[in-house]
Chains A and B, each alone.
Chain A
Amino acid sequence: MAAAAETTLHRSRRRRRFRDRAFRASTPYALIAPVVAVIGVILAYPLYWLVKLSTEKYGLFELIQHKGVSVGLRNFSSVLHDSVFWRTLLRTVVFTAVNVTLTIVLGMLIALLLARVSTYVRVLLSSGLVLVWSMPVVVAVQVFYWMTNFENGVVNYALTQLHLGDFFHHDWYASTFSQLSLVTVLIVWGALPFVAITLYAGLAQVPRDLVEAAEVDGARPWRVFLDITLPILRPILLILTSLSIIWDFGVFTQPYLLIGQSKITSGNYLMSIYLFEEGYFKSDFGRGAAISILMLLIVAVLSVAYVRKMVRIGEAAL
């Protein structure tokens, strides 16, 4: 009897222990479930439709009928055989590289400046940055457009007054290079506040005593920056660079509005504009979906390569 009772007790204790373990093991899944559900709704579902759309002939006629015709991978092969796609891709990669580099380098310089100046100047400078950050993109585009206006833009006026040459009726939108350079100025200008303020926050984590010790050992500022500041900022730089690549590779509003629809041709497409023109203007939504999936893959490849490289550098340093 007693032995039997003991086994029952033992069994029930074991069961409870098992239940506890199961509960403990499932807790993380329960905690992550809402996130998974939200991601499923806002990401996986549209993505599923995007993939489905990319395998269909879906034009204006199909749009009105609300029903596409399956064509397999024909949309993808048509995009990949389009020379405009490859030229646009190259242009966009170069454009992204220039924009991201300028953003990060200038942002870093401003952050270093912020750490050096007096409190008064720092407050002034960071309020300026926040003002830039808070300006809506469309408004910023309009201001840039006015400043570079052909008839009476202030840039032409100022450059002429400074005796840098006759800029009267200088056309800033005459060549693709000039157009995209303006867009770069606009994008970098708009992205600097976020990058500079984030890096400045990161600089606060650099231990003062470490810097002082290096300086006592005779390290020049450049050396201190390379060997102390930069390694500590690496994780932040990694995130900022990845985000910048994503933003700049897919940027649409600034180039589309600043260059203006009437000046957009296949000769100055960026990736997102190519997508917009092919998908929406030509009402070929299936092809548009195929382009956007290709864009997704390209950015993934670009960023993953970058992430792996950064992680490897990190491992090597340790």
Chain B
Amino acid sequence: MKRRSIVALGLVAVLASAITTATPGATKRATANNITVWLQVDAQSSWPDVVAAANQKFQSDHPGTTVNVQYQNWGDHLQKFDAALAGGGGPDVIEMGNSEMTKYMAAGAFSSLDKSSFDNSANWLKGLAGSGAYGGKTYGVPYYAGSRVVTYRKDLFSKAGISKLPATTGEYVADAKRLLAKNSTKGFSPVYIAGTDWYVALGFVFDYGGGIATQVSGKWHGLLSSPKSLAGLAAYKAFFNATSRASKTTDETHPNPYDVYAQGQAASILGPSWFTCCIGAKYKSSTAQFVMPGHVKGQSMPGFAGGSDLAVPITSSTKSLASDWIKDFTSTSSEKALQAKGNIPNATNLLGNSVNERAAARSWFVPTAKHWVDVENGNILRNMLRQILTGKLSIKQAASSASDNIESVLNQ
């Protein structure tokens, strides 16, 4: 009996060590003349020269100071940031998605910044500036915005006899049929869209006048099951089935649409305008972009008004240096360099007439709610799209359940 209980006790001890979750470790603290910057990998893959130029400018203004840029992934950078906040270390500057800001500003994770000290701050893009402001203070400096456009193969379009770019989604579907007829390769997509790419799918929802959620006297109400949203979701399903041979359950990074395009398996892809970065040398000269049309002639499809802000965590020990680095990285010349890479600069006075800047004219954004980020991380929208496309649930069932889900998360 005694031995048995000792065995059991020993086992419990082993279990405890196996299951106890690791406490987040602290990263090295910045010293007085060393700042750590967390940027997303986009900067590493598409505009490392802009980062290098800002670092150079910063270091010439602050001799002897080093900038340690660490590249992060969208998928887990918030978990890492949480761990850094707990450990008291972490970055001095962090890039945040504009839909991620609210939760952290509400929790007091960032130190407020002097808005007027940044270039073009009077003309910052409204949506982006709004995502970095909380309680009348500025916590996030707009870094860049992105819009979503169609990247397409001119050669394939002309081979299929398409002389005029589609002016409505209906015309686009007709063009897709012609493209399919001319390209018999198995798995070829006239328009490659990952099944659960909610940025594309919700464009249809907003195009039909629907929405995600709206706040009425302090309480959030789900809108996805409204008749207009349902019409948008039905249009998305029809468009997907007619044009894309992508997996109905995958997201827009597994695989990256531009990889599918680079392999010659897609005539067009829908996504950020910087997709041209990675379409492969082979198709560089035959690639162009156009604004995704909506279902009504003359109106473009509303695109997700994505963007990034730069913020200084409250835990930083070199806040003024951090703020100076942000100044250099969001200076007029830096923003112009970002614009040249296919991004939308952070201020209206810098805007040009490129295809992505035209596409930004009609856009939508996620509900600015403290708990919105939980909706994204909980994959509520992706799950709904998977259910709709695989036919597991009807559009109405899937949308109602997602809508209820979103409502309860936002009203927590």
Contacts and interface: CB of A to CB of B under 8 A. Distances in A.
By secondary structure, the A interface counts as: helix
A49 B86 CA distance: 14
Contacts of A47: 16, 20
A227 interface: no
A150 B250 contact: yes
Given A43-B16, A288-B21, A295-B19, A169 B107 contact: no
A105 to B, nearest CB: 22
A64, A174, A292, A307, most chain B CB atoms within 10 A: A64
7 contacts: A60-B85, A60-B104, A61-B106, A171-B248, A265-B383, A281-B78, A308-B4
A154 interface: no
Given A174-B249, A261-B379, A288-B21, 11 more contacts: A43-B13, A50-B21, A61-B107, A63-B85, A262-B250, A262-B379, A283-B103, A292-B21, A304-B8, A304-B11, A311-B4
Contacts of B76: 261
Given A60-B103, A151-B187, A263-B382, A46 B23 contact: yes
B72 to A, nearest CB: 14
Contacts, number: 136
Interface string B1-40: 0001001100111111111110100000000000000000
Interface string A165-204: 0001101011000000000000000000000000000000
A250 B11 contact: no
A128 interface: no
B352 interface: no
Interface residues of B, number: 55
B75 interface: yes
Given A265-B379, A281-B79, A168 B186 contact: yes
B42 interface: no
A61 B75 CA distance: 22
B378 interface: yes
A307 B86 contact: no
Interface string B220-249: 000000000000000000000000011111
A169 B245 contact: yes
A155 interface: no
Interface in A259-279: 260-267, 275, 277, 279
Contact of B374 (A174, A282, A307): A282
Nearest to A59: B107
A263 B379 contact: yes
B166 to A, nearest CB: 26
B75 A261 contact: yes
Contacts of B248: 171, 174
B92 to A, nearest CB: 16
B377 interface: yes
A303 interface: yes
B14 A246 contact: yes
Interface in B145-187: 186-187
B108 A61 contact: yes
B373 to A, nearest CB: 8
A304 B8 CA distance: 6
A59 B383 CA distance: 26
Nearest to A53: B23
A79 to B, nearest CB: 15
A262 B108 contact: no
Q: Which 4 residue pairs spanning A and B have beta carbons closest together? A: A262-B251, A60-B107, A150-B247, A61-B107
Contact of B17 (A43, A66, A264, A300): A43
Contacts of A150: 246-247, 250
A275 B187 CA distance: 38
Contact of B378 (A50, A173, A266, A307): A266
Contacts of B11: 242, 300, 303-304, 307
Nearest to A268: B383
A243 to B, nearest CB: 8
B404 interface: no
Given A171-B249, A296-B15, A151 B265 contact: yes
Contacts of A65: 108
A266 B378 CA distance: 8
A258 to B, nearest CB: 11
Nearest to A246: B18
Nearest to B88: A66
B281 to A, nearest CB: 21
A49 B8 CA distance: 23
A280 interface: yes
Contacts of A281: 78-79, 374, 377-378
Interface in B340-388: 374, 377-380, 382-383, 386
A304 B11 CA distance: 8
Contacts of B315: 64
Contact of B383 (A50, A250, A267, A292): A267
Contacts of A283: 82, 103, 107
B85 to A, nearest CB: 6
Contact of B20 (A50, A61, A282, A288): A50
A183 to B, nearest CB: 15
A39 interface: yes
B99 interface: no
A42 interface: yes
Interface in B255-274: 255, 260, 265
Interface in A12-69: 39, 42-43, 46-47, 49-50, 59-61, 63-66
A247 interface: yes
Contact of B85 (A64, A250, A263): A64
A61 B13 CA distance: 33
A255 B88 CA distance: 31
Given A263-B379, A264-B379, A311 B7 contact: yes
